């Protein structure tokens, strides 16, 4: 039971990162290697604000306020990345890869330079460190929060896609971006919005990874990003539902393999799963072709 | 008075020089047919007007150059587009396809229901599950939903059964009462029925422009420019 819930908690974090990656690729055809920097920026912004609010009690209020600031900074950072770095490079995929890889490295280096490469303790409310006994297993409470956060984000994103005009534009844009513009819609606004949503979800993953691991460090975003990319590929590029299923599968597999085989085998098992899915179903579990380019 | 003017339009697709100085005018009102054999640049011409295939030269809509505008702003100048392969959003419902096309309020659903009454019964159906003819209706309906100054319609009868070809021609005739149409069409009987003017492209250049009937009534011209003896190009 503990293994399963812990695997689901890990999968929840992977999903939070993968959801933005998947939407960004599906709509814009951009493989955003800088997505890990959104995690780092969100986590460090939360940690810094929490330190600044040191005198504010209770801790839960301080944590919530700091987390909200972290999400806002993550959203702003992601929007700026889209507007300043990605927008001038539409349809120039090699340059996009170079810029996003470079940004990811730069944010890691900058974070290390400012706050040292060592781990920083992430202060969380006491309740999150406590456990709840379910079927005889003592489950850390933060796992429930991680799972609940991922479910809320999944539900929110599905509702956004299903019931809002921008959601309609994103769904249509994933199918055929050029035709969306040919209907008189400025699809670039949807691009910025999707990047911003991805930034919020990644920043939330950054906060929750701090809770999950008890600390943050400059490379945490990059480590999580690798598995989020695997989740996106297994789930199918552009499919939110596929990413959710794949995130659960990867999180559980990692935990079970690490426990029943030996620590470290989990990563290998995930790679094997990726290889099998790519061989059997190259477009992933629910893969879509990338959007047809405008122009 | 001309609504659309192309002047010395050049378009490159990769290394191919597809449009090599295309110039022609489309008068306001009625239907102008853009004709020619396969691969001479008809679709590229429409895509270039839409800003989907960037070109060099001048494209004036109502006297204003639109050649460097992004596609969505060209559309807001009053151009509706029905692409060659319909390009409906297969994963969206018919209602969502139409809703996506709404601009500036005041959408003309009454006109759409008048022309395509069957669509009302399929609003909740995924557009990708419709027949080819029904998908074409959705594509044309999207363009007619707004009050456009001009419609660019690319091979609307391609792949349709004869009864549907007649139906599409009827719809375009009705649409032409409301707006100017630039029509790419291989079916010359449809062109004969609805077009007043014709422009013929060959190898990326305009080789003929004039009244449609004058062209279609002359077997020599039809054979020379369109490579057929009549009926279908």
pLDDT for A41 equals: 97
Cβ <8 Å between A169 and B142: no
pLDDT for A27 equals: 78
Separation of CA B114 from chain center: 21
Sequence-distant (≥ 6) Cβ neighbours of residue A195 within 8 angstroms: A20, A24, A78, A79, A81, A82, A86
Task: Answer for the pair A238, A287: CB distance below 8 angstroms, yes or no.
Answer: yes
- H or E element: which one contains B197? strand B197-202
Q: Would you state the structure tokens that stand for residue A80, as one six-digit string?
A: 């700026």
pLDDT for A286 equals: 81
Separation of CA A109 from chain center: 20
**Crossing angle of helices A265-280/A240-260, nearest 10°?**
140
Cβ <8 Å between A178 and B52: yes
Is A161 part of the contact surface with chain B (CB cutoff 8 Å)?
no
Task: Compare CB distances from B87 to A168, A169, A179 and report the shortest one's residue.
Answer: A179
| Mean pLDDT for chain A overall | 90
CA distance A126 to chain B (A): 46
A185 vs B contacts (CB less than 8 Å): 72, 100
C-alpha span between B70 and B68 (Å, rounded):
7
B146 vs A contacts (CB less than 8 Å): 184
pLDDT for B104 equals: 76
* Average pLDDT of the segment spanning A69-93: 93
- Residue A290 pLDDT > 90, yes or no? no
Cβ <8 Å between B89 and A175: yes
pLDDT for A287 equals: 66
pLDDT for A291 equals: 47
- Residue A203 pLDDT > 90, yes or no? yes
DSSP A83: I
DSSP B93: B
Return left, alpha or beta for A60; rule: phi > 0 is left, psi -120 to 50 is alpha, else beta: alpha
| A16 closest CA partner among A224, A178, A179, A279 | A224
Q: Would you state the structure tokens that stand for residue B147, as one six-digit string?
A: 């009050």
| Burial of A280: CB neighbours in 10 Å, binned 0-12, 13-18, 19+ | exposed
pLDDT tens, position by position, B136-187: 999 999 999 999 999 999 999 998 999 899 999 999 999 999 999 999 999 9
- What is the ipTM, given to two decimal places? 0.91
Residue of B nearest to A170 (CA): B100
Helix (H/G/I), strand (E/B), else coil: A91: coil
- DSSP β-ladder status, B180-184 and B197-202: unpaired
Is A48 part of the contact surface with chain B (CB cutoff 8 Å)?
no
pLDDT band at A293 (very low <50, low <70, confident <90, very high): very low
Q: Would you state the structure tokens that stand for residue A104, as one six-digit string?
A: 């990811």
pLDDT for A288 equals: 56
All structural domains of chain A with their residue ranges: 2-125+139-280
C-alpha span between A58 and A50 (Å, rounded):
12
Task: Compare CB distances from B101 to A171, A183, A186 and report the shortest one's residue.
Answer: A183
CA dihedral for B210, B211, B216, B219, sign (positive or negative): negative
* Average pLDDT of the segment spanning A48-59: 86
CATH class, domain B2-90+150-226, is alpha beta
Cβ <8 Å between B50 and A185: no
Nearest 5 degrees, angle CA B66-CA B68-CA B74? 45
* Average pLDDT of the segment spanning A27-38: 89
Cβ <8 Å between A185 and B100: yes
Task: Compare CB distances from B89 to A176, A184, A295 and report the shortest one's residue.
Answer: A176
Cβ <8 Å between B71 and A182: yes
- In sequence order, what are the beta bridge partners of A24? none
E-strand stretches of A173-254: 215-216
- Residue A131 pLDDT > 60, yes or no? yes
Lowest mean pLDDT among A118-132, A193-207, A245-259: A118-132
- The fold of the A2-125+139-280 domain, in CATH, is ABC transporter involved in vitamin B12 uptake, BtuC (1.10.3470)
pLDDT for A19 equals: 92
- Residue A16 pLDDT > 80, yes or no? yes
Residue B102, number of CB atoms within 10 A of its CB? 17
C-alpha span between A185 and A195 (Å, rounded):
18
Sequence-distant (≥ 6) Cβ neighbours of residue A8 within 8 angstroms: A143, A146, A147, A248, A251, A252
Is A183 part of the contact surface with chain B (CB cutoff 8 Å)?
yes
- Residue A76 pLDDT > 90, yes or no? yes
pLDDT for A238 equals: 79
Residues of B with a Cβ under 8 Å from any A Cβ are 50-54, 70-72, 75-76, 81, 83, 87, 89-92, 96, 99-101, 103, 142, 146
- For residue A277, CA distances in Å to A29, A63, A236, B84, B121 come to 21, 40, 10, 36, 40
B106 vs A contacts (CB less than 8 Å): none
Percent of chain A with pLDDT over 90: 69
pLDDT for A295 equals: 32
Task: Answer for the pair A80, A38: CB distance below 8 angstroms, yes or no.
Answer: no
Cβ <8 Å between A295 and B54: yes
B99 vs A contacts (CB less than 8 Å): 165, 168
Is A112 part of the contact surface with chain B (CB cutoff 8 Å)?
no
- H or E element: which one contains A190? helix A187-213
pLDDT band at A2 (very low <50, low <70, confident <90, very high): confident
Residue numbers of chain B with a pLDDT score lower than 50: 231-233
CA distance B145 to chain A (A): 11
Task: Compare CB distances from A184 to B72, B83, B99 and report the shortest one's residue.
Answer: B72
* Average pLDDT of the segment spanning A124-135: 87
Is A192 part of the contact surface with chain B (CB cutoff 8 Å)?
no
């Amino acid at each position: 039971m503990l293994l399963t819930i812990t695997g689901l908690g890990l999968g929840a974090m992977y999903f939070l990162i993968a959801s933005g990656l998947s939407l960004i690729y599906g709509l814009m055809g951009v493989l955003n290697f800088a997505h890990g920097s959104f995690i780092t920026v969100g986590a460090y912004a939360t940690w810094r604000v929490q330190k600044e609010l040191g005198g504010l009690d209770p801790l839960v209020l301080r944590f919530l306020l700091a987390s909200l600031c972290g999400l806002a900074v993550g959203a702003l950072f992601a929007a700026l990345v889209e507007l300043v770095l990605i927008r001038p490079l539409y349809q120039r995929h090699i340059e996009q890869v170079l810029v996003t890889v470079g940004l990811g490295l730069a944010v890691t280096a900058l974070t290390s330079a400012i706050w040292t490469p060592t781990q920083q303790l992430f202060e969380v409310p006491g309740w999150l460190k406590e456990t709840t006994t379910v079927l005889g297993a003592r489950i850390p409470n933060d796992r429930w929060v991680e799972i609940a956060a991922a479910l809320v984000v999944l539900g929110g994103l599905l509702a956004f896609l299903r019931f809002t005009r921008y959601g309609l534009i994103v769904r249509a844009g994933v199918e055929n971006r050029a035709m969306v513009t040919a209907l008189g819609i400025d699809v670039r606004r949807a691009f910025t919005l999707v990047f911003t949503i991805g930034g919020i979800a990644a920043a939330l993953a950054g906060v929750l990874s701090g809770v999950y691991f008890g600390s943050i460090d400059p490379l945490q975003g990059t480590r999580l990003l690798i598995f989020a990319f695997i989740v996106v590929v297994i789930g199918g590029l552009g499919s939110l539902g596929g990413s959710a299923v794949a995130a659960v599968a990867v999180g559980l597999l990692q935990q079970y393999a690490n426990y029943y085989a030996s620590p470290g085998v989990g990563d290998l098992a995930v790679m094997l799963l990726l290889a099998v899915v790519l061989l059997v179903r190259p477009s992933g579990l629910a893969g879509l072709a990338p959007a047809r380019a405008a122009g | 008075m001309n609504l659309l003017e192309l002047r010395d339009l050049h378009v490159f697709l990769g290394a191919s020089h597809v449009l090599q100085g295309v110039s022609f005018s489309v008068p306001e009102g009625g239907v102008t047919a853009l004709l020619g054999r396969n691969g001479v640049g008809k679709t590229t011409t429409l895509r270039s007007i839409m800003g989907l295939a960037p070109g060099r030269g001048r494209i004036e809509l109502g006297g204003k150059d639109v050649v460097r505008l992004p596609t969505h702003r060209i559309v807001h100048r009053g151009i509706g587009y029905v692409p060659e392969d319909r390009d409906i959003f297969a994963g969206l419902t018919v209602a969502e396809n139409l809703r996506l096309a709404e601009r500036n309020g005041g959408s003309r659903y009454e006109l759409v229901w008048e022309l395509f009454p069957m669509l009302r019964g399929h609003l909740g159906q995924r557009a990708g599950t419709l027949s080819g003819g029904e998908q074409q209706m959705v594509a044309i309906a999207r363009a007619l939903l707004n009050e456009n100054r001009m419609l660019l319609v690319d091979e609307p009868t391609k792949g349709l059964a004869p009864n549907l070809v007649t139906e599409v021609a009827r719809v375009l005739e009705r649409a032409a009462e409301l707006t100017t149409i630039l029509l790419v069409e291989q079916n010359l009987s449809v062109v004969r029925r609805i077009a007043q003017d014709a422009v013929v492209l060959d190898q990326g250049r305009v080789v003929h422009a004039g009244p449609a009937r004058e062209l279609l009534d002359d077997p020599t011209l039809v054979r020379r420019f369109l490579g057929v003896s009549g009926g279908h190009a």
